[in-house]
Each structure stands twice: as C-alpha cells, then as structure tokens.
Amino acid sequence: MYDLTVIIPTFKEEANIRTIITEVDAVFRKNALNGEILVVDDNSPDNTIAIVNELKGTKTNVNLLVRTSDHGLSQSVADGFLHASSEIFVVIDADMSHPPALIAKMYDEIRAGNDVVIGSRYMEGGGIKKWPLKRRIISLGATFLGRLLFPEITDPVSGFFAIRKNVVAQAQLKPRGYKILLEVLGKGVWEHDKEIPFEFSDREIGTSKLKIKTIIEYAQQVADITLYSFVHHQSAAWREWKKVFKFGIVGISGIVINQGVLVALKEYAGFSIPVASICAIQLAILNNFLWNDTWTFKSKGQPQRLSSRWQRLVAFEAVSLGGAVINFAILNAFVMFLAMDYQIANIIGILLGFIWNFFVNRRFTWVTKRT
Ligand SMILES: Nc1nc2c(ncn2[C@@H]2O[C@H](COP(=O)(O)OP(=O)(O)O)[C@@H](O)[C@H]2O)c(=O)[nH]1
Ligand SMILES: [Mg+2]
C-alpha cells in the first residue's frame, strides 16, 4: 500500500513521459513519500507505452494501465481512481504544465483534513503562461460555468488536483470530455477543499488535444451535474441549490414587506407614493439582507471575504440596485420592442433580476476568504 498515487493520463506523450515520471519520483524521494506513479494510457500509437515499460524495469513504483476502449481523458483518470493502490490520489498532466513539486504540498493538505485540494490558475499567485487568446477565452468560459455550481472554487476545471479516495469511492461518475475535476466535485462526497495557486505553463512539446466537441460535452456535463444534484442531496452542488431556495424564500418575504410598508405608509401615515415606496424598498432590502446574512449564507466558521456586516450590507445594496435596474430595463424593453404583455415582461424581469442578485451576491457579498 502506497501513501499516495500520482495518476498521469497520457495520449501520445513519448516526448514528455520520461521527464514527468522522473520529476514525480524525485518529489517522492525529496519528501520521503512512498508514492505510486500510475500512467493511464489510451493505447498511444507512439513510444509512450514502450518508455513506461522501460522505466518500470528500474522503478518498482511505476505502474501502467493501457486502455483500449472508451478513449478519453476523463475516462482514463476515472479508471486510474479504480486501479490506484492508495487512499490519496493526485492527478497531473504529462506535459509538464503542472509543477510536480506541488504534489508534496497537496499531499500535506489532504493529510491535514481536506478532501479535495486543487491547483488553481485563477487565484492570487496563480496564472497561465503562453496561452493564445482563444484558449484563454475558452478556459474562462468553462471556469465561469463551473463556478455557477461551485462559487467558492476559483478553478473548478483544473487538471491538477488531489482527492481522498473516499470522495469518489461511491460516486457514480459519468466521465467524459476534459473536465474530470468538475465531475468529481459535482458527484463526489466532500466537505473541505483547499486551493493552491500555481502557474500553468503550456506544453513545450507535442500537441494539445482540445477540440470543439470538448466544449459541447462540457456544457452537457454541467447540465448533468445540476440534475444529479437535485436527486443526490449529499452532493456539493446541492448545497448551492439550498442557498438558491433560501435566497428565493427571503426574496418573497421582501416582496411582502415592500408591499405592506408601502400600503401602511401611504394609507395610514399619509406619505406620498414615491416617498412611501423608497422607504418600503429600503426596509425590504434591509430585511432581505439580515435574513441572507444570518440564514441563507451563514458561514460555518470560515471567515468571509467581506469581514464586516457593514461591508456586506453596502455590497448587497449595490447588487440589489443592479437587480432593480435589470428588472426595470427588461420590463420596458420587452414591452417597447417586443410588444409583450407588461405583466409577463415584468415576471421575466423579476426572474433575471433574481438570477443576477443571487449569483453576484454569492460571488462578491457572501464568499469565504480563500487563503
Ligand atoms: N489517457 C488519455 N490521456 C489524454 C487524452 N487526451 C489528453 N490526454 C492527456 O491529458 C493531459 C492533458 O492533455 P493536453 O492535450 O495537454 O491538454 P491541454 O493541456 O488542456 O492542452 C496530457 O497528459 C495528455 O497526454 C486521452 O484521450 N486519453
Ligand atoms: Mg497540456
């Protein structure tokens, strides 16, 4: 039994495989780790397999899994999970895009109690070297979609991560495409996660295998994880949905307060409608803020990025204003340009305002501090 297994998915990596294995093995020795290296190859037509077999002769901790069906990166990593001989898995690309030295740190963080440790390109201290604009845009798009499911995680589609075996032991993974981490986060069982910044450097040798099909598969994957979370309530994505529901309930309480205060001030206090409305809206915002701050987004011990309640209130006010502007703009635009019924247009406006309010608040007002 090993301390950890480093899973290296490969397809046509004859130019890189020797280097990555040597470097990972050096990290093991430097940190006195009893580590396994598991290369999962999709039956590469080049010399990858021959080189790994040659290295297996001198290093007893190197293992090779050659797959002949269901070709794919995510499928290969998931197969690696099944064949690994340890309780802690690290996944790393073969092309030296990920710094092997971080493996030791990831291992330590798992030992310290984290279930998932992610090498992040998008947190402070991380980055991407030498990527063409097109790759950057695609990656940012994928990251944005992933963050809708996991708003706390800066890089939910990173290819460099570590997990405890029991995160995926019972999970019904449906691996496809490139983003195995999103699948693990969406369907695995985990509570504590940690991100470590790193600088991604694009491969020097060989070619990338990213295709258009990959992007379509990714969108399907996000939809699939969303549906899965509705049925599997122990999944992390369900934790987010619960927040959406609570936010919605709070929103409805705000509507009741807004209406009630408006009527009370107009009918019984003799306020003019504009003044009564401004007071009613303010009270509703305050009501929503307090419920969201103490209930919807109650943090379990982790410090918030906006540490004082006043800061969060100011942020919430600003975001709410944006939501109101969206509601107003949609209502008027749909009535004017689409001749839509104003009540339907308003409901669409309210819904879009709600989506804005939830996601922007989730990302900026109530987000835990990542260190
Ligand atoms: N087993 C397997 N590995 C793959 C496949 N596609 C890519 N890889 C490996 O996954 C890692 C990342 O692939 P790469 O083409 O560098 O993707 P990029 O870094 O996103 O451009 C590398 O180690 C590849 O050899 C595949 O279909 N099967
Ligand atoms: Mg690469």
Report the phi/psi class of residue 177: left, alpha or beta, with left for phi > 0 and alpha for psi in -120 to 50.
Answer: left
**Separation of first and last alpha carbons in the chain:** 32
Q: To which H or E segment does residue 196 belong?
A: strand 193-197
One domain, residues 109 and 174: yes
* Residues 319, 175 share a domain: no
Count of domains observed in the chain = 2
More confident residue, 85 or 302: 85
By alpha-carbon position, which residue is closest to atom 27 of ligand 1?
72
The tokens describing 83, both together, are 């064949």
Testing ligand 1's pocket by substitution, the residue of 6, 8, 10 carrying the most ligand atoms inside 8 A of its CB is: 10
How many whole angstroms from 259 Cα to the centroid of ligand 1?
Answer: 56
Residue having the nearest C-alpha atom to atom 11 of ligand 1: 93
Band the pLDDT of 208: cuts 50, 70, 90: low
Residue 85 lies in a domain: yes
Look at residue 207 and tell me whether its pLDDT is greater than 80.
no
Average pLDDT over residues 252-264: 95
Average pLDDT over residues 295-303: 86
HSE-CB of 115 using CA atoms within 13 angstroms: 13
Share of the chain above pLDDT 70, in %: 98
Do 85 and 197 lie in one domain? The reply is yes
Within-domain flag for 93: yes
Q: Which of 209, 233, 257 is the last residue of a domain?
A: 233
Q: How far apart are CA 67 and CA 88, in angstroms?
A: 22
Q: 97 near 200, Cβ under 8 Å?
A: yes
**Residue 163 shares a structural domain with residue 299:** no
Ligand 1 atom 21, closest CA: 208
80 and 62, same structural domain? Answer: yes
Which of residues 233, 252, 287 is at a domain's end?
A: 233
Q: Which two tokens stand for residue 244?
A: 């959406």
With CA atoms as reference, report the closest residue to 127 among 200, 202, 196: 200
What global pTM score does this model have? Answer: 0.88
| 204 lies in the same domain as 243 | no
Are 119 and 198 in a shared domain? yes
Whether the Cβ atoms of residue 51 and residue 18 lie closer than 8 Å to each other: yes
Domain-embedded: residue 13: yes
Is 264 within a domain? Answer: yes
Task: State the distance from the centre of ligand 2 to the C-alpha of 215, rounded, in angstroms.
Answer: 16
356: which residues sit within 8 A by CB, 6+ positions away? 319, 322, 323, 326
Domain presence at residue 371: no
Is the same domain home to 229 and 129? yes
Q: What is the pLDDT of residues 154-198, one digit of tens each?
A: 999 999 999 999 999 988 898 887 889 999 999 999 999 999 999
Tell whether 226 and 255 lie within a shared domain.
no
- One domain, residues 63 and 191: yes
Tokens 């309010």 belong to 357
Contact 87, 196 (CB under 8 A): no
Answer yes or no: is pLDDT of 370 > 70.
Answer: yes
Domain assignment of residue 314, yes or no: yes
- Max Cα separation, the chain? 90
Q: Which DSSP string do the residues of 116-163 spell out, in sequence order?
A: EEEEESSSTT-EEES--HHHHHHHHHHHHHHHHH-TT-S-TT-S-EEE
Is 370 inside any structural domain?
A: no
Domain around 86: 4-233
Q: Tell how far the Cα of 357 is from the centroid of ligand 2, in angstroms.
A: 36
Given a cut of 90, whether residue 260 has pLDDT beyond it is: yes
Pairing of strands 62-66, 116-120: unpaired
Instruction: Please give the Cα distance from 68 to 308 (Å, whole number).
Output: 56
- Residue that finishes a domain, picked among 168, 200, 233: 233
pLDDT score at 283: 96
For the chain, give percent helix, strand, coil, nearest 5: 55, 10, 35
Residue 350 Cα to ligand 1 midpoint, Å, equals 43
Same domain, 128 and 141: yes
Ligand 1 pocket (Cβ < 6 Å) reads 9-11, 13, 40-42, 71-73, 76, 93-95, 97, 159, 203, 208-210
- Domain membership of residue 324 (yes or no) is yes
Distance 64 CA to ligand 1 centre (A): 16
- Smallest CA-to-CA distance from 102 within 194, 223, 172, 17 is with 194
Question: In this structure, what CATH number is given to the domain that contains residue 51?
Answer: 3.90.550.10
- More reliable by pLDDT, 29 or 235: 29
Instruction: Say if residue 198 is in the same domain as residue 262.
Output: no
Gap between the Cα atoms of 268 and 277, Å rounded = 14
